């Protein structure tokens, strides 16, 4: 199944590379890129100070109240964009319409910042086998692969797997999302003393990232830092 998914992703990337590309946002000539320079400059980049733990905007970049009351299992989060137009449409285009060129664009945006000090490996958010078969690829893997290559770090695709096909999280309140993710992941082997970078597309309540971080910490990871494309305000 993994080989079939890789083949589908390769075919989609090859097609995108051979066919002329118009800007995903405005439709203008993008000179082979998924976005033209004008639209790229007008994206909702996350520039405001944010909580270093969960990436929600805070005054002066201080730890937010929620992270002070209940520290999450992950140690830090950095987001590139706010999850609003047109980034929301870009993420959906990647996930549901196979616009895989956007994965490379997102990876370059993440790679503009250096990896966390001491980072040992990159772990993309896993998809359940049923969802992977339905979609044909894991968008987190497509983003994480060129990012890990740019950083010179190993990409870990088999360290953790998603053992439950959890219901879609969109539209659910935080408590329901947390219940959905209980026991969602399982890991094999040891990560004793390692610093792990988790890559995902969107963070809303952080329930999936919390569950994954707990699993990585149980496997011995010393530090887990999230690098995400967009944070829901």
CA dist 142 and 139 (Å) reads 5
User: What would the pLDDT profile of 2-49 be if each residue is shown by its tens digit?
Assistant: 565 566 666 655 655 555 579 999 999 998 899 999 999 999 999 999
Cβ atoms 87, 44 nearer than 8 A: yes
Question: pTM, whole model, 2 decimals?
Answer: 0.85
CA distance between the termini of the chain: 36
In this structure, the number of other CB atoms found within 10 A of the CB of residue 190 comes to 11
Tokens of 20: 């002329």
According to the model, what pLDDT value does residue 182 have?
67
73-128 per-position pLDDT tens digit? 999 999 999 999 999 999 999 999 999 999 999 999 999 999 999 999 999 999 98
């Amino acid at each position: 199944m993994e080989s079939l998914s890789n083949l589908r992703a390769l075919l989609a990337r090859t097609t995108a590379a051979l066919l002329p590309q118009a800007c995903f946002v405005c439709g203008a000539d993008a000179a082979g890129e998924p976005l033209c320079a004008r639209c790229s400059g007008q994206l909702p980049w996350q520039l405001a100070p944010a909580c270093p733990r969960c990436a929600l905007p805070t005054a002066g970049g201080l730890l937010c109240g929620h992270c002070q009351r209940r520290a999450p299992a992950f140690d830090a989060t950095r987001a590139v964009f706010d999850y609003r137009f047109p980034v929301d449409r870009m993420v959906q285009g990647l996930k549901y319409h196979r616009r895989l060129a956007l994965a490379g664009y997102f990876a370059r945006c993440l790679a503009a910042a250096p990896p966390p000090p001491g980072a040992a490996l990159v772990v993309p958010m896993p998809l359940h086998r049923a969802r992977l078969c339905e979609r044909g690829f894991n968008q987190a893997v497509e983003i994480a692969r060129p990012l890990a290559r740019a950083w010179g770090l190993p990409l870990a695709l088999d360290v953790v797997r998603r053992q439950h096909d959890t219901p879609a999280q969109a539209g659910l309140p935080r408590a329901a999302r947390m219940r959905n993710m209980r026991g969602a992941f399982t890991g094999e082997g040891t990560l004793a003393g390692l610093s792990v970078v988790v890559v995902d597309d969107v963070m809303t309540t952080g329930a999936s990232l919390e569950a994954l971080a707990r699993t990585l910490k149980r496997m011995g990871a010393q530090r887990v830092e999230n690098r995400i494309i967009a944070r829901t305000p």
